Structure 1
Amino acid sequence: MTRPTISSLLQQSTPERNSLKALSGAPIDQSFGKDGYAYLLEQETKSTGVCTDILKSHVRQDRYYACALQSHKETQVFKSAVWLLDGDGKRDHSFTVDFGSLMGEDKTFTPSSLMEDHEGNLLCLGGVSEAANRLWRFKNTGELDKGFASTGFVDSDQLTAERLTFLFAATLSDGYVIACHTPGFKAVLVALSADGALNPNFGNGGVLDLESHLPGYGAGITSLIATKHAESDRILLLSLRGEGADMFSVLSAINSRGQLDTSFGEGGHFKSENATFYRGLSCSNVSSLVTLCGGHMLADESVQPEIIRLTSNGAPDQVFNKGIPVRFDANAGMWHHMIEHEGRLVGVGSFYNHNRAVRYLADGTLDTTFVSPWGHGSFGATPPNPGFYMDGNSSIAFVPASKRLLVCGDVNVTAQNQVAAVVLALALG
């Protein structure tokens, strides 16, 4: 499975090293795991691994799911699995999924994202080697749930006459929704009932062709979440669109019947300024505010990190910088993820030669109590040095009790010729 990314935009950024290089680093919480890292797979010489997603459980108190993969450079042995961690980065052995035992010897599974439904089942989206994409469902014991599609999984070539590409998935109150591309690169939503069958009450027999409902032409789906609005499910789809030479981001709201929610934005859509590319999408259960983050390309083709917050009706939040997008004062960067905690926004992004964490107040100003007096700080290694490298496509998670931010990625240990899959904990204070 090809994981969605627009990191190529960063390669067009102006490669200037500005004052950020001299600023303080975001603190690593050394009490988490082993010196700030939770290692997910057995560390082996000549192996290469990466943690591809982290998910805070809403059913298990202070528990976090993480998925990862690892391959050996010489033997080509491939491993992938899902683990359960506590808030201190220790393994909880009450749940483990080993995809190797499920796939057999001739195929492998590359996990890309995790979801948890209202009953506590865990779903994992990813790709099967030389085959279709797959959505698995596991019981909260880690056992494959064969009550889901009779096999415990749904493949992307089972649902329509043409093979779809699964990109993102989200849980609804009575099932699931998957954002897909067709072979012709059209944007499609597929809704499944709780048993894994197509939901006949959504779109056209469970499938919604979005192209006729979206402005311009398609350039890729970048995110998908499901939220609640007026006590009903609302699907939010973030996509990159174009009109002529102009490129922009569009956030679209779809209801549980597969119809555009025209009460959101303008006719069901919020459209960014031209040359703005959002990739991160989240919605707070507390404030109901939607956060979009990514970057804005300037005239010199450098990319400036940007955030905007929207109310539940799709209008810019006037409290957050008076409704105007907040652009970070640095070129050659892009925010990947932002989440709300305690009324503030915290997130991470990639810059020209490093990763950076940031925290904003509700009004859109930097929270200078984080990495004082800046409000932001670098973390991880700078290429090609050994150390931690963030996986920008994965999610982030917040640990309330210890105020840690969990970030997925890998640690390059050059001396041992290995790259280990890890979860890093940043101390938010």
Structure 2
Amino acid sequence: MAVFDAGVEVHGSKLTASLPAAYPGLPPRAPRCSPNSRTGSLSIDHQRLSFLPVPAAIRIALNEIAKTTPPVTGHIMHPNMVFFAQTQHNPRDYQGERQELKAPIDVTYADKGHLHIGEPIADPRNAVSQILASNYYPERFYLRGVHNGTKPFIARTLKDGELDTSFNKTGLVYLTDLSTVFDYHSFSHMAEDAEGHILLTMIDRTQGFTHLWKLKPNGKPDTDFGSNNGYIILNNFFNFKDITLYQFTTYKNDYIFSGSLENAPILFVLTHEGVPRQSFGKLGILKMQDLIPDLRYVIGAPKMLEVGEKVRIIIYTRYFNDSSSINGIAALTLSGALDQRFADNGVYWSKPGIIIYDFTLNNASQRITVHGQVWSEGTSTPMIYRLDYTGKPAKEFNEGRVVLFPIEGAWDYMTEADGKLVGYGSFLDRGMAVRYRLDGQLDTTFVPPNGYGVFTAIGSQPGFYGNSHSATVMPESQRLLVAGREIQTGSTPCVIAVSLKQ
């Protein structure tokens, strides 16, 4: 047995790392490991983590960039780029690393396992960047993406990968067709409410304001929303201060946003009528630094934990103190207070070096699955850990410890489905799908005998490339759908279906 830094143990081909049950109060100073959204690099304070050989000039420059750069939750990837931060070291030569098997593609989905939107064009922005499983229409899915470089779209598909023509008659809504006044070249996020409406946040490039659109289930604007035009300008609620809204979720009749106001993290809640929820925070706005001083970011879309009558807003955060940073999972009440019974005073602080990409909830098993990477000594290692709904490590999953994967990379998506953990990750020059048992062991019935396999193109070869953290599982069809693009003669927005039937 070999022991690595930060309590990582290697047992044969299996790596594990211990997590503390919780940090007392706010976390102590920790090495700053902060992804930079412009470059994909990481800024690390080597004075607090002496074994990381980062020259002082580079460290200072990266830290200054990180101070002014908001977080992102997706990768912007060219076939010749890696999916995560490059290092000066060569990948570790794990036995069998270059002999990975192919993950099976479900050729009964769409066109031999690939759903394409539009025709190929030489523009790297052409991609599907979000997949949303509809709760209102079973076995239907919404896709968010960009075509022709400047045409953001929403598509609704059937379970077999065909466009649903009951949605705007074609299955597609090009957002540039919603208004001839505004300049929409992209949009940030989408969500579905309990009545099947689709909510979209888009940035108008003429003014730089964020608009929230509400579409009916048939794909047409809901003209009862806003000023009888189907949208509202979110900046109005902040007196046009420096506001950025990242992602959002819906709960009953509310829309819950994560974002930043004048570079400080916030949560913001609107009712379905498009007015702030007065009972949340102060006039619908919760300044997170009032709860956790020095908190820098609230990242990604909030998610709703529901057990009986207990409902909590779960978010993941990044805390800074001087040059230190650490990631955490926090639980809040519907009024905007930290749930003091969750973890340690409302927040579970991850171990230093752990970088959270996202998390998923399973209300049936009452488990939170957290995924991403561990950054140590210039190396990214894919990691998963699980919490129960009280914010404590789930003991049945690797005895409450982090599970690390023995190939450099990161897990982009991971969720519980049919009694297994299913997901995918990015590994230097390829993407791999994986399936774990709920005890933390690889499920070797998937792509036997490994439990994981390649499903993307390799290197700069033609084929499918994932370019975001967005995926979903189709339990009845036993498929993992991953968003991205296919590169052949050009770039085409694409979804690929990985078969989980093994």
TM-score under structure 2 length normalisation:
0.78
The equivalent of 1:75 in structure 2 is none
The equivalent of 1:401 in structure 2 is 476
Q: Could you say if the C-alpha distance between residues 251 and 344 of structure 1 is closer, same or farther in structure 2, counting changes exceeding 3 Å? A: same
Higher strand share: 1
Q: Which amino acid aligns with 2:383?
A: E
Q: Which amino acid aligns with 2:137?
A: R
Q: Distance in 1 between matches of 2:105 and 2:166?
A: 27
Instruction: Choose from 386, 392, 395 the match for 1:309.
Output: 386
Identity of aligned residues (%): 28
Q: Could you say if the C-alpha distance between residues 113 and 91 of structure 1 is closer, same or farther in structure 2, counting changes exceeding 3 Å? A: same
CA RMSD of aligned residues (A): 2.1
CA offset at residue 9 of structure 1? 5.5
After the TM superposition, which segments of 4 or more aligned residues of structure 1 sit over 4 Å from their partners? 6-9
The equivalent of 2:159 in structure 1 is 87
Structure 1 contact 174–194 (Cα < 8 Å) conserved: yes
**Partner SS for 1:157:** helix
The equivalent of 2:8 in structure 1 is none
The equivalent of 1:171 in structure 2 is 250
Q: Distance in 2 between matches of 1:93 and 1:386?
A: 30
CA offset at residue 215 of structure 1? 5.5
Structure 2 contact 433–454 (Cα < 8 Å) conserved: yes
Give matches, 1:358-397, under 5 Å: 358-393=434-469, 395-397=470-472
Q: Distance in 1 between matches of 2:152 and 2:365?
A: 36
Cα displacement string for residues 139-194 of structure 1 (whole angstroms, at most 9, x for unaligned residues): 111111133333323334122121311111011123110001123x2110000011
Give matches, 1:183-194, under 5 Å: 183=262, 185-194=263-272
Query: What is the total number of aligned residue pairs between the two structures?
Result: 416
Q: 157-166 or 97-106: which moved more? A: 97-106
CA offset at residue 5 of structure 1? 3.5
CA offset at residue 133 of structure 1? 2.6
Q: Distance in 2 between matches of 1:172 and 1:269?
A: 21
CA offset at residue 244 of structure 1? 3.9
Q: Distance in 2 between matches of 1:223 and 1:45?
A: 31
Q: Distance in 1 between matches of 2:74 and 2:475?
A: 31
**Partner SS for 2:154:** strand
Q: Distance in 2 between matches of 1:411 and 1:281?
A: 26
2:329 matches 1:251: yes
Q: Distance in 1 between matches of 2:254 and 2:416?
A: 26
Q: Distance in 2 between matches of 1:219 and 1:260?
A: 16
Instruction: Choose from 276, 279, 283 the match for 2:354.
Output: 276
Q: Which amino acid aligns with 2:478?
A: K
Unaligned runs of 5+ in 1: 73-77
Structure 1 contact 172–233 (Cα < 8 Å) conserved: no
Q: Distance in 1 between matches of 2:465 and 2:430?
A: 9
CA offset at residue 13 of structure 1? 7.3
Q: Which amino acid aligns with 1:22?
A: Q
CA offset at residue 124 of structure 1? 2.2
Q: Distance in 1 between matches of 2:104 and 2:220?
A: 37
Q: Which amino acid aligns with 1:426?
A: V
Q: Distance in 1 between matches of 2:374 and 2:254?
A: 35
The equivalent of 2:13 in structure 1 is none
Q: Which amino acid aligns with 1:164?
A: I
Q: Could you say if the C-alpha distance between residues 211 and 421 of structure 1 is closer, same or farther in structure 2, counting changes exceeding 3 Å? A: same
Q: Which amino acid aligns with 1:398?
A: V
Cα displacement string for residues 247-301 of structure 1 (whole angstroms, at most 9, x for unaligned residues): 2211111111111111111111010001111111110132121111001111x12
CA offset at residue 106 of structure 1? 5.8
Q: Distance in 2 between matches of 1:329 and 1:15?
A: 14
Structure 2 contact 266–298 (Cα < 8 Å) conserved: no
Unaligned runs of 5+ in 2: 1-36, 38-69, 76-82
**Partner SS for 1:93:** coil
CA offset at residue 214 of structure 1? 2.3
Q: Distance in 2 between matches of 1:192 and 1:101?
A: 25
